[in-house]
């Protein structure tokens, strides 16, 4: 789902309206630097206009959607992060707090969630806030009470303040799960290892499209290309050690760990093998249906 979906735009407007009633968002008259050539908001600091490249800005006064950053709680606290106690990103929580007390949430762009229903003609919701509405709309469609958004630490730092009033609505809440960077440009170097293990396409796909993303949730930092062979061997050991019958108790333990944001099972061969067996059973059941 994206912020161009009517369902997302509808939910975003609902959230803005309830925040306006609560006073956490306001519509107020502000003076902001605006491109003289095209009318795009340029922000402070004399950057060239993002829309047309002009450096000629003037201060324009008008109505904008403004967020008051809460003073009684940090921009990000433990409940906003899907992680076990030991994996809480203290550094992120500190840097995310370095924001202005008031943030302008409306933007001059040609696409995005249109704010004209609120009387803000020609303005859209800042996509850093809008992305939260997209995630919550997906959660609502799945009747989930919690949505976990996977995101890098940098991106979370970039959107956390703008999302502060968009992470909970009507009993549905959004949490961030941080993930690291994967060396996808280097997976071709695994070819000789794939051949040595006679890995089928399904095994390679399982490693690259299923296991590596999981591993990036486990590590949070950058995974180096020279770590890939050891990771593939770990994955293959689990693949070859898959139990014939699922260990239900061990599988439920992994489900509980995953719900709590604990990622240690991903590097535990037996736990991983059991989850891989469960996936195969689920896939076979789907084919039968």
Binding-site ranges for Zn ion (CB under 5 A): 35, 37-38, 40, 49, 51-52, 54
Shortest Å distance, C-beta 179 to Zn ion: 35
Q: Which is nearer to Zn ion, 56 or 205 (CB)?
A: 56
Closest by CA to 78, choosing from 69, 70, 87, is 87
Q: CA distances (Å), 275 to each of 180, 210, 235, 268, in order?
A: 22, 12, 12, 11
Report whether 217 contacts 177 (CB < 8 A).
yes
Report whether 159 contacts 128 (CB < 8 A).
yes
Helices (H) and strands (E) in the chain, counts: 10, 8
Q: Which is nearer to Zn ion, 110 or 195 (CB)?
A: 110
Shortest Å distance, C-beta 30 to Zn ion: 19
The beta strand positions in the chain, using DSSP E, are 25-35, 57-68, 102-104, 106-107, 124-125, 146-151, 168-169, 172-178
For helices 228-240 and 269-288, what crossing angle results, to 10°? 60
Q: Which is nearer to Zn ion, 49 or 148 (CB)?
A: 49
Shortest Å distance, C-beta 31 to Zn ion: 18
Q: Which is nearer to Zn ion, 38 or 99 (CB)?
A: 38
Pairing of β 57-68 and β 25-35: antiparallel
Q: Which is nearer to Zn ion, 56 or 77 (CB)?
A: 56
Report whether 141 contacts 150 (CB < 8 A).
no
Q: Which residues are CB-contacts of 229 (< 8 A; sequence separation ≥ 6)? A: 190, 193
Shortest Å distance, C-beta 32 to Zn ion: 13
Q: Which is nearer to Zn ion, 59 or 143 (CB)?
A: 59
Q: Which is nearer to Zn ion, 40 or 132 (CB)?
A: 40
Q: What is the CA radius of gyration of the chain?
A: 23
Shortest Å distance, C-beta 122 to Zn ion: 14
């Amino acid at each position: 789902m994206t912020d161009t979906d009517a369902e997302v735009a509808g939910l975003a407007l609902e959230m803005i309206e309830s925040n306006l009633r609560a006073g956490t968002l306001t519509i107020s008259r502000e003076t902001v630097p605006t491109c003289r050539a095209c009318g795009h908001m340029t922000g402070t600091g004399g950057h060239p206009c993002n829309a047309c490249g002009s450096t000629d800005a003037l201060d324009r006064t008008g109505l904008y959607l403004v967020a008051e950053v809460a003073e009684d709680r940090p921009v990000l606290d433990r409940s906003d992060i899907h992680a076990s106690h030991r994996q809480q990103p203290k550094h992120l929580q500190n840097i995310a707090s370095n924001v202005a007390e008031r943030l302008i949430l409306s933007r001059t762009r040609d696409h995005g969630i249109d704010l004209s229903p609120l009387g803000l003609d020609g303005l859209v919701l800042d996509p850093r806030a809008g992305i939260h509405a997209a995630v919550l709309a997906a959660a609502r469609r799945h009747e989930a009470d919690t949505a976990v958004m996977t995101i890098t630490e940098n991106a979370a730092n970039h959107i956390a303040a703008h999302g502060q009033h968009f992470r909970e609505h009507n009993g549905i809440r959004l949490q961030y799960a941080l993930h690291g960077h994967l060396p996808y440009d280097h997976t071709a170097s695994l070819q000789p290892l794939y051949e040595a293990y006679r890995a089928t396409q399904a095994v390679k796909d399982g490693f690259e499209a299923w296991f590596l993303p999981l591993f990036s949730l486990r590590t949070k930092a950058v995974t180096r290309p020279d770590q890939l062979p050891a990771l593939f061997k770990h994955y293959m050991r689990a693949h070859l050690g898959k139990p014939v019958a699922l260990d239900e108790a061990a599988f439920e333990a992994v489900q509980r760990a995953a719900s709590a944001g604990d990622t240690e099972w991903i590097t535990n061969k037996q736990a991983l093998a059991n989850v891989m067996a469960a996936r195969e059973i689920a896939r076979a059941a789907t084919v039968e249906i």
